[in-house]
Structure 1
Amino acid sequence: MADTKREIERKYDADADTRLPDLTRVSEVADVRDRGVDELDAVYYDTGDLRLAAASVTLRRRTGGADAGWHLKLPVAPEIRDEISAPLSDDIPGELRALVRVYTRDAELAPVVRLRSVRNVRHLLDADGALLAEVSRDEVHAERPPDGGRTARWDEIEVELADGGDPALLDAVDKRLRKAGLHKATAPSKLARALAETGTAPASRPAAPPPRTAGDHILGYLREQADALVSYDPGVRRDLPDAVHQMRVATRRLRSALRTYRKILDREVTRPVTDELTWLAGELGVARDQEVLAERLRSRVDALPDTLLLGPVAARLKAWAVAAGSDARGTALAALDSTRYLDLLSALDALLEEPPLLKAAGKAADAALPDAVLKEYDRLSRRVEHALALPAGGERDVALHDARKAAKRTRYAAEAAAQALGRPARQFAKRMKAVQKVLGDHQDSVVARHTLRDLAIRADAAGESAFTWGLLYGQESARAAEREAELPQVWERATGPGLRAALTG
């Protein structure tokens, strides 16, 4: 089983003559304790074209020191990475291999660099002897496997914050180190420096020129969402909070933009990718919808007084949530492990590499994009008016759900145009989000009622009281009625005078 920790560190260039200053002069540091010298031997793995390194991901097998084993480091933010560790073995652990699959696309992983380091370790301690940070001075020797190849050698100093430590400590240590003449490392990691100094660095994506046309803006938006989709894949596999939601949102934004801006990008060419994005959103949606529903029902149960909790309500809800959650997570992981998913990623890459631009893509953004957004808005308007004209009941529930999907698509259309159209598009998206929120709460209530009815049936069959489930069903019915009553006012506020004119200028 792999272990995870958040690594927050800073690196500094050094040479053989570099000496550390007295770090007890940092106010929080009461003592600096020498922890001795470790000899570390790490082999880094990557694809032949260095796909992991290009994504700032590192995978290594290291011996020596206190944490020998396999280490996968995933970027979180500048100077912050999540390190996932697994026990030492000859082969790459399957769990780590799965976490990098979105980058490798099942290409072979092989040794690309070997780093042998002599590490002198010091601990920075507070007045109570608790660890604040670890300072390491590394003498690093890099070589290319398997026969050595080109080599490189350098010294560096690394300051890593202790688990749960205050990042402000790094600022204080940094100030002291800089005053002593040290400078931040020019390379973001040992691997990056080793690759650069032994002759081969990963290819980087060329910087896109400033967007000028409508096509430039939409392609930039699509690339952002494609990058987001890839970046959330490891988080979904690790079951991190909100990862499924964010990956699903990226998938839906991609799909929405390809549909909305079909006068910019040829719909006949993009349709197969859109269809596969619909599939992926659906597979992720099972897990996301289950998360939302479980939290909604837990909050409803928690809000009830004990006198209204008849029978093992909390226990039954927990058992249902665990079982349904496990099934939903299995669905999402099966999708990410499939060949179909990798084919989708490759197709998306190909589409963005050679986009099927149409004539309108060459127009100015303010001439081509507003019409596409307003077309989605008109669709939404028709659906809202249709839903409001229906009597309360199942048919209206379906119509309101259709309106919710249209509201989301309209919002995404405005967000895609926001960089080009500025504040009017952002305000438009904000208004559509307000409509989406009301419709979303209504739909969540519809789904909750179906589940509550099922839970009531199961409770009754087990000889338990179904009273509480019926009470919750009634609360959800009342909630849905409130949202339906609220919708006309929300819609009127969102679509007030000047909405279309503001977007078109």
Structure 2
Amino acid sequence: MADTKREIERKYESEDSGLPDLTGVAGVETVVDKGVAHLDATYYDTPDERLAAAAITLRRRTGGSDAGWHLKFPVAPGVRDEIQAPLSDTLPRSLAGLIRSRVRDAELLPVVRLLSDRDVRDLVDSEGRLLAEVSVDAVRAERLTVDGGTAQWTELEVELADGGDPAFLDKVDKRLRKAGVRPSKSASKLARALAETTPKKKRRKQPAAREPVTAGDHVLAYVREQRDAIVTLDPAVRQDTYDSVHRMRVATRRMRSAFRSYGKVLDRTVTDPIGDELKWLAGELGVDRDAEVLTERLTAALDELPRTLFSGPIRTRLRTWTHARRGGSRRRLTGVLDSKRYLALLDALDALVDDPPLLEAAAGQPEKVIAKAVRKDFRKLSGLVEQAVALEPGQDRDLALHEARKKAKRTRYSAEAAAPGLGSPASALAKSMKSLQSLLGDHQDSVMTRQTLRELSAVAHAAGESSFTYGVLYGREEATAAAVERDLPGAWQEVKGGMQV
């Protein structure tokens, strides 16, 4: 079983291997000497160092109080999520899955060994509570390749105690700087080890980032952003992190929208098959998401309902309905993310970004090529909205509004992709499309919620339970949909009046 913790720390370098006096730091009552630990860590990566490129570290370490396998993901500067697993000879499956979107079929090899003598001090307040752990590490790094080198340095780390206030690190930082200690130039020991033990002739120089200029540059930048989001969110989805499934699903939709909206920039004979696979992935991700949205909506509606309108075990019935749809879902989704089909999709996305199927229009100016594509999406949306508004209330209008919602979403995404090239007009359009999408989304959620209420009511009736409360909720959802339909014409006119792309 793997355990996860949020690691908040700062690293420093100093010519002096000693630790400055920290008893003067505000809030520190005592500095407790915890002794010296001898740590032996081997870091693993692919031959092309994919994990290091993403600032991810995977190590097997002995010695100290937390011997075992450690996998660290970057969150923000100085902040990482660390997943730990017990010590074993081989990489635990629980960690292997979390790096599969990066590693895929590549071999994991030991790349660096770090031997550290860690002199540890605890900073404790007047009530004996741990504020932070400070350590002075004497490090020896060895590159585990035929022509790899070695390096040595002394490093000072300050790690915030679990649940501590990050502002406390600022106080320690001020004291350390005053003592002549300077922040480390490397984000991690591994990063420094790789930099200092790799032969100069083999050191890779990262190409300087080039600002997007052409229409193709802007579209590819947007596509690359979505590819990166899918790969980065993979571990979070596997861990069932809040909102991760929704965010990955949105990334797939954004990329598919870019393929369709910018078909004059990227060759659709290449992107359409990839788009089909993205649609498949979005469908797998959405199996639980739609049920979650309905559950949240119904739960909120019940919370707002006066007790006098409750009749029957409706909350129990809702929980049963929710659990029935989530049964085994996480295990099923993990299977999808481990499948050959999904990993082949990731490879296809990499190939697309590395060797994009650009058409002639890709070399054109964003003001012409991208703006034309956005206007085309907007015209199609306009036709759908006006068609829906002209229909009588009922199932046909519901379907038409749902199609308009999907087109509003696509127009929003095309405007998002266009914003870096077209500036504020595209940004304003994306914002207005988000509002319109939200309005139409409320309507669609109401349609789906009423369908669910009919199902729940039928089951309750068959069990001899009262269906009164279901009827009350159904009526309120009808009123919500009617309000959207009433407000839509005015909202749409406002959107049309603000269109400047």
Q: TM-score range by the shorter chain?
A: over 0.9
Q: Distance in 1 between matches of 2:297 and 2:330?
A: 18
Q: Distance in 2 between matches of 1:147 and 1:307?
A: 77
Q: How does 1:212-291 map to 2 (within 5 A)?
A: 212-291=213-292
Q: Aligned-pair distance for 1:171?
A: 1.2
Q: 2:353 matched to which residue of 1?
A: 352
Q: 2:164 matched to which residue of 1?
A: 165
Q: Aligned-pair distance for 1:406?
A: 0.1
**AA paired with 1:166?**
D
Q: Aligned-pair distance for 1:387?
A: 1.2
Q: 2:385 matched to which residue of 1?
A: 384
Matched, 1:3 2:36: no
Q: Is the 8 A contact 1:287 1:331 kept in 2?
A: no
Q: How does 1:141-160 map to 2 (within 5 A)?
A: 141-145=140-144, 150-160=149-159
Q: Distance in 2 between matches of 1:383 and 1:76?
A: 41
Q: Distance in 2 between matches of 1:346 and 1:146?
A: 27
Q: How does 1:72-471 map to 2 (within 5 A)?
A: 72-145=71-144, 150-199=149-198, 206-471=207-472
Q: Aligned-pair distance for 1:376?
A: 0.4
The 3-state SS of whatever aligns with 1:265 is coil
Q: 1:19 matched to which residue of 2?
A: 18
Q: Is the 8 A contact 2:143 2:198 kept in 1?
A: no
Q: Is the 8 A contact 2:14 2:180 kept in 1?
A: no
- Cα distance, 1:293–1:184 mapped onto 2, change above 3 Å: same
- Identical aligned residues as a percent: 61
- Between 1:273-282 and 1:421-430, the stretch displaced more is 273-282
- For 1:250-279, what per-residue CA distance to the aligned partner results, in whole angstroms no more than 9, with x for missing partners? 111111111101111111221111111111
The 3-state SS of whatever aligns with 1:388 is helix
- For 1:139-196, what per-residue CA distance to the aligned partner results, in whole angstroms no more than 9, with x for missing partners? 1122234889532221100000111111111111111111111111121111111122
The 3-state SS of whatever aligns with 2:23 is helix
Matched pairs, number: 499
- Between 1:273-282 and 1:457-466, the stretch displaced more is 457-466
The 3-state SS of whatever aligns with 1:487 is helix
Q: Distance in 2 between matches of 1:360 and 1:279?
A: 29
**AA paired with 1:351?**
L
**AA paired with 1:212?**
V
Q: Is the 8 A contact 2:388 2:401 kept in 1?
A: yes
- Between 1:456-465 and 1:181-190, the stretch displaced more is 456-465
**AA paired with 1:169?**
F
Q: Is the 8 A contact 1:287 1:332 kept in 2?
A: no
Q: 2:66 matched to which residue of 1?
A: 67
Name the TM-score, length of structure 1 as normaliser. Answer: 0.95
Q: Aligned-pair distance for 1:461?
A: 2.5
Q: Is the 8 A contact 2:148 2:198 kept in 1?
A: no
Q: Is the 8 A contact 1:143 1:150 kept in 2?
A: yes
Q: Distance in 2 between matches of 1:360 and 1:147?
A: 48
Q: Aligned-pair distance for 1:359?
A: 1.5
- Cα distance, 1:331–1:481 mapped onto 2, change above 3 Å: farther
Q: Distance in 2 between matches of 1:389 and 1:326?
A: 42
Q: Distance in 1 between matches of 2:33 and 2:346?
A: 49
Q: Aligned-pair distance for 1:137?
A: 0.8
The 3-state SS of whatever aligns with 1:283 is helix
- For 1:269-324, what per-residue CA distance to the aligned partner results, in whole angstroms no more than 9, with x for missing partners? 21111111111112112232222222111111111222322222222222322332
The 3-state SS of whatever aligns with 1:24 is coil
- RMSD over aligned Cα, in angstroms? 1.8
Q: Aligned-pair distance for 1:327?
A: 4.8
Q: Distance in 2 between matches of 1:373 and 1:134?
A: 53
Q: Is the 8 A contact 1:286 1:332 kept in 2?
A: no
Q: 1:28 matched to which residue of 2?
A: 27
Give the unaligned 5+ runs of structure 1.
none
Q: Distance in 1 between matches of 2:160 and 2:194?
A: 26
Q: Distance in 1 between matches of 2:452 and 2:82?
A: 39
